[in-house]
C-alpha cells in the first residue's frame, strides 16, 4: 500500500470522524422532557460524584455491580422516593452511612428524580427484529 494512499484513507477517516463527532455532540440525544436541572439537582449530581456512588451503582446499566441500578429507583412501583431516601440516610451492610445532612439527602433525591425523568431502564417492551436490532420501548424514544 503506497504511503500516499494510506494518508488519503487516514484523512478520509478523520474527516468522517469529525463530522460524526459534531453530530453526536449536538443531535440524537434529546431528552424526552426539556426541564434543565435546577440548583438542587446540580448539587445532587456533584455529591453523587464526590461520594463516588457510581463505583457500586448504575444508570442505564452503566457503572458498578455491587448495588442496584438507580435509573428509575424513585418511580419503581415497589420502591419510590421514601425507599431511596431511607437507603441514603441509613446505608446498608454493603453501603456506608455517609452521615449526610438533610439538605444533602434532598439534593441526591432530586438528582435521582431528574435521572428518572430522562428515560426507562431496563426497557419495558423491547421488540427484537429478525436482523438483531431492538426497538427499545418503541414510541417513547426518538427512533
Residues in contact with other proteins by CB under 8 A are: 1, 3, 6, 9-10, 13, 16-17, 20-21, 24-25, 27-32, 36-37, 45-46, 49-56, 58-69, 76, 93-94, 96, 114-115, 118-123, 126, 128-129, 132-137, 140-143
Q: How far is the CB of 42 from other proteins (least distance, A)?
A: 8
| Pair 43, 37: CB distance under 8 Å | no
Length of the chain: 143
Our CB check for other proteins shows the closer of 108 and 114 to be: 114
**DSSP 3-state of 79:** coil
Question: Smallest distance, Å, CB 88 to other proteins?
Answer: 14
Q: How far is the CB of 102 from other proteins (least distance, A)?
A: 22
Answer whether the bond into residue 96 is a cis peptide, omega within 30°.
no
Q: Give min distance, CB of 103 to other proteins, in A.
A: 19
- Residue 82 grid cell: 421514601
Identity of the residue, 25 or 102, whose beta carbon is nearer to other proteins in the bound complex: 25
Q: Which is nearer to other proteins, 63 or 106 (CB)?
A: 63
Contact yes or no for 37/46 (Cβ under 8 A): no
Smallest separation (angstroms) from other proteins to the CB of 127: 10
Separation in Å, CA 60 to CA 1, 69, 116, 130, 135 = 43, 7, 10, 24, 16
Instruction: Judge if the upstream peptide bond of residue 105 is cis by omega within 30 degrees of 0.
Output: no
Comparing CB distances to other proteins, the nearer of 15 and 103 is 15
Amino acid at each position: 500500500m503506497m504511503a500516499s494512499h494510506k494518508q488519503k484513507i487516514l484523512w478520509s477517516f478523520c474527516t468522517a470522524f469529525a463530522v460524526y463527532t459534531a453530530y453526536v455532540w449536538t443531535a440524537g440525544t434529546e431528552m424526552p422532557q426539556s426541564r434543565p436541572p435546577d440548583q438542587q439537582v446540580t448539587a445532587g449530581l456533584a455529591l453523587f460524584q464526590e461520594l463516588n456512588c457510581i463505583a457500586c451503582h448504575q444508570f442505564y446499566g452503566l457503572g458498578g455491580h455491587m448495588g442496584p441500578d438507580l435509573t428509575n429507583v424513585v418511580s419503581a412501583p415497589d420502591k419510590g422516593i421514601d425507599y431511596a431516601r431511607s437507603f441514603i440516610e441509613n446505608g446498608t451492610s454493603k453501603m456506608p452511612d455517609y452521615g449526610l445532612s438533610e439538605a444533602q439527602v434532598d439534593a441526591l433525591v432530586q438528582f435521582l428524580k431528574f435521572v428518572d425523568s430522562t428515560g426507562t431502564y431496563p426497557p419495558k417492551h423491547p421488540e427484537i427484529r429478525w436482523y438483531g436490532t431492538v426497538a427499545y420501548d418503541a414510541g417513547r424514544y426518538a427512533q
